[in-house]
Amino acid sequence: MYKFFLTLLFFLFVFSSALDAKLIDGVAIVVKGSAITLYDIKKEMKLAKVDAKSASDILIRKKLEALETKERKISVTSSEVYEDIKKTAAANKMSVDEFYAAVRESNGLTSTELKKTIKQRLLAQKLYAAIAYSKLSQPSDQEIKEYYELHKKEFMHPSAFNVIVNFSSNKEALEAKMKNPMLYAPQVQTKEESIPYEKVSPELASLLLNTPLNSFTPVVPNAKGTFMSFYVKGVEDVKEVPLDGVQEQIKNTIMAKQREEVLGEYFARLRHNADITIIRMPQ
């Protein structure tokens, strides 16, 4: 019913590359002979909204991942990138050109920048699979049941969301309306709806569930080339999802946690043994 792209979708896997040591602000950290600059750290601090230490840790991890990918000779072809783009576009009922336009409107990424971002994500996926695959195990039925019992609140959802949909082809006008709902904004259209839970995409369901009552969701682009925001008025008939309806979801969650533990330990060891020199940090 409603298809859209969240900004996080495209920034969750963006890998910022270190600039040459001769460029902006000079070298801050050297990881196995490869430089991270002060500019890189400041950029990551702004992007991730973290302090210099956390930003440096993120960049060192990314640098180690990039070097590990190169050492393992892991590669991604342009065909793989294009197939990923086609699948994402199709899932959102868009053509590839419409998909490019939606990304450009949402995140300001050109098609070339988007392809680079997707390539980095696919490289990371292949690397993670190579490191963790042999160490992952399928959770047992008992483990799945125990997880379900401990996290029942996560598996409750309303039968419908009562919302006011605000939409416009002018993103700025929509954002102004959200800041001041009493503002006269002829470019913004609104309509009140009760949206059944079963008819929304998982992404939109998550967005609505995580938006407090009587507040707006962030602005998101939709498949028609316009922008929309939902004012969540209320929910109807909150109910518990039975175990058999979320068994696969729980299995994936447990295995994702396993994978993160394996990867965390692997890169902690890699960092401990790597030649890393911290020269200076942003003031």
Q: What is the mean pLDDT of residues 195-203?
A: 84
pLDDT of residue 22: 43
**Distance of alpha carbon 121 from alpha carbon 12, whole angstroms:** 9
**Distance of alpha carbon 251 from alpha carbon 241, whole angstroms:** 15
Please check whether residues 126 and 13 belong to one and the same domain.
yes
Please check whether residues 163 and 102 belong to one and the same domain.
no
Higher pLDDT among residues 222 and 10, named by residue = 222
Please check whether residues 67 and 173 belong to one and the same domain.
no
Q: Are 9 and 202 in contact (CB under 8 A)?
A: no
Please check whether residues 107 and 17 belong to one and the same domain.
yes
For residue 220, the domain's CATH number is 3.10.50.40
Please check whether residues 41 and 174 belong to one and the same domain.
no
- A 10 A CB-CB count for 134 gives 9
Please check whether residues 188 and 87 belong to one and the same domain.
no
Please check whether residues 95 and 39 belong to one and the same domain.
yes
According to DSSP, the β-strands at 156-157 and 239-240 are: antiparallel
Select from 85, 117, 116 the least CA-distant residue to 102: 85
Assigned domain for 194 exists? yes
Structure confidence by residue, pLDDT tens digits, 5-62: 443 343 333 333 333 434 445 899 999 999 999 999 999 998 888 999 999 999 999 9
pLDDT of residue 226: 80
Q: What is the mean pLDDT of residues 176-200?
A: 88
Residue 191: pLDDT band by 50, 70, 90 thresholds? very high
Q: Work out the angle at residue 252's Cα, subtended by the Cα atoms of residues 44 and 62, and round it to the nearest 5 degrees.
A: 20
Asked if residue 275 has pLDDT above 80, the reply is yes
Secondary structure of residue 56 in the 3-state scheme: helix
Higher pLDDT among residues 247 and 6, named by residue = 247
- How far is C-alpha 62 from the chain's CA centre? 16
The set of residues, in sequence order, having a beta carbon less than 8 Å from that of 135 and lying 6+ positions away, is 258, 262
pTM, rounded to two decimals: 0.67
Please check whether residues 119 and 185 belong to one and the same domain.
no
Structural domain for 95, as ranges: 7-134+258-278
Sign of the dihedral through C-alpha 176, 179, 182, 188: positive
Assigned domain for 139 exists? no
**Distance of alpha carbon 8 from alpha carbon 11, whole angstroms:** 5
Assigned domain for 82 exists? yes
**Distance of alpha carbon 219 from alpha carbon 167, whole angstroms:** 9
Instruction: Please list, residue by residue across 222-247, b when 16 or more beta carbons sit within 10 angstroms of its beta carbon and e when fewer do.
Output: bbeeebbbbbbeebeeeeeeebeebe
Structure confidence by residue, pLDDT tens digits, 223-236: 666 888 999 999 99
Assigned domain for 247 exists? no
pLDDT of residue 181: 85
Residue 273: pLDDT band by 50, 70, 90 thresholds? very high
pLDDT of residue 223: 63
Beta bridge partners, 62, equal none
Q: Are 275 and 67 in contact (CB under 8 A)?
A: no
Asked if residue 144 has pLDDT above 80, the reply is yes
For residue 21, the domain's CATH number is 1.10.4030.10
Assigned domain for 108 exists? yes
Tokens 């298809």 — which residue? 3
Residue 251: pLDDT band by 50, 70, 90 thresholds? very high
Give the range among 9-18, 176-185, 235-244 with minimum mean pLDDT.
9-18
How many domains does the structure of the chain reveal? 2
Please check whether residues 49 and 114 belong to one and the same domain.
yes
Residue 93: pLDDT band by 50, 70, 90 thresholds? confident
pLDDT of residue 56: 95
Please check whether residues 123 and 30 belong to one and the same domain.
yes
pLDDT of residue 9: 42
pLDDT of residue 161: 94
Please check whether residues 19 and 126 belong to one and the same domain.
yes
Assigned domain for 152 exists? no
Assigned domain for 35 exists? yes
Q: What is the mean pLDDT of residues 241-265?
A: 92
pLDDT of residue 283: 77
Assigned domain for 186 exists? yes
Please check whether residues 170 and 266 belong to one and the same domain.
no
